[in-house]
């Protein structure tokens, strides 16, 4: 992938877990996914006509949890490893989720964010991911705010961002990606997550994207729920030029 073939969004999110069937059952119950017949060792999860995820076992050296897979890149299927150990997959297929895609429905990805501590690693991540994927880096919020520290732009649309790490990264130093999924009713989704044996990692809160809540499945895979985002990036994407929105 090069800046001449910029990445415009996600192909899907992959959940790496030792129990793909159990994970697919949990998230399909929470999100209403349709889980199709296994493709090899993978379970394909769909919302309508768009695939949103696969659930599979980790390969050698792969860390369990949610992994982003960017779409629309030239070349073969593969992955990129950036500074501080952050890994993202790439798939030459078309982008299904992103700022040029239709508004996310319940259970679809609606944003992704690189989580890494401020400092040299964060600066190195900005340079690496923007350079490899063809993005422009713009400053975001300051320390203590609910804005991403940086936002990665393409053609005046926010594709993804970088933020400070959260408690979900405890025990995993370095950088990692947080996946965000749209839900119709955040309180109902959080309650259902707990009923299914998952964990609600804090009360719902207002953030740059809208109203959010961090949750984990019984296997410990962490993601963020966003209530009724108006589009990719939620409230962050649709702000006027005085803040971080489309300019």
CATH of the domain at 78: 3.10.180.10
CB 61 within 8 Å of CB 80: no
Residue 28 domain flag: yes
> Helix H segments across 146-222?
186-195
User: Within a 13 Å sphere around the CA of 92, how many CA atoms are in the beta-carbon half?
Assistant: 5
CB 106 within 8 Å of CB 183: yes
Residue 244 domain flag: no
SS3 212: strand
Residue 246 domain flag: no
CB 242 within 8 Å of CB 199: no
Domain that holds residue 75: 10-238
Going through 72-209 in order, the beta strands assigned E by DSSP cover: 78-81, 87-91, 109-115, 136-139, 150-154, 157-163, 176-183, 199-200, 205-207
- pLDDT by residue for the chain (247 residues), tens only, comes to 444 579 999 999 999 999 999 999 999 999 999 999 776 779 999 999 999 999 999 999 899 999 999 998 656 788 999 999 999 999 988 999 999 999 999 999 999 999 999 899 999 999 999 999 999 999 886 555 567 899 999 999 999 999 998 776 666 667 899 999 999 999 999 999 999 999 999 899 999 899 999 999 999 999 999 999 999 998 887 554 434 433 2
Count of domains for the chain: 1
Residue 51 domain flag: yes
Residue 245 domain flag: no
> Helix H segments across 106-241?
120-133, 186-195, 234-238
Distance CA 209, CA 238 (A): 10
Supply the pTM of this predicted model: 0.92
């Amino acid at each position: 992938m090069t800046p001449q073939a910029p990445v415009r969004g996600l192909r899907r999110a992959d959940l790496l877990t030792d129990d793909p069937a159990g994970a697919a059952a949990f998230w399909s119950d929470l999100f209403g996914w349709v889980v199709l017949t296994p493709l090899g060792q993978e379970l394909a999860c769909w919302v309508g006509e768009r695939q949103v995820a696969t659930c599979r076992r980790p390969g050698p050296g792969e860390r369990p949890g949610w992994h982003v897979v960017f779409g629309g890149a030239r070349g073969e299927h593969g992955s990129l490893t950036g500074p501080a150990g952050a890994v993202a997959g790439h798939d030459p297929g078309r982008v299904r989720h992103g700022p040029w895609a239709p508004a996310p429905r319940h259970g679809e990805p609606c944003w992704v964010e690189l989580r890494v501590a401020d400092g040299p690693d964060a600066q190195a991540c900005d340079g690496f991911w923007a350079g490899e994927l063809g993005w422009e880096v713009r400053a975001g919020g300051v320390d203590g705010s609910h804005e991403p520290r940086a936002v990665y732009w393409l053609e005046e649309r926010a594709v993804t961002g970088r933020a400070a790490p959260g408690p979900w990264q405890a025990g995993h130093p370095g950088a990692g990606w947080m996946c965000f999924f749209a839900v119709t009713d955040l309180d109902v989704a959080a309650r259902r997550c707990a009923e299914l044996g998952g964990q609600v990692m804090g009360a719902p809160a207002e953030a740059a994207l809208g109203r959010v809540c961090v949750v984990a499945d019984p296997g410990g895979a962490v993601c963020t729920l966003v209530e009724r985002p108006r589009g990719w990036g939620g409230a962050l994407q649709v702000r006027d030029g005085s803040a971080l929105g489309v300019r």
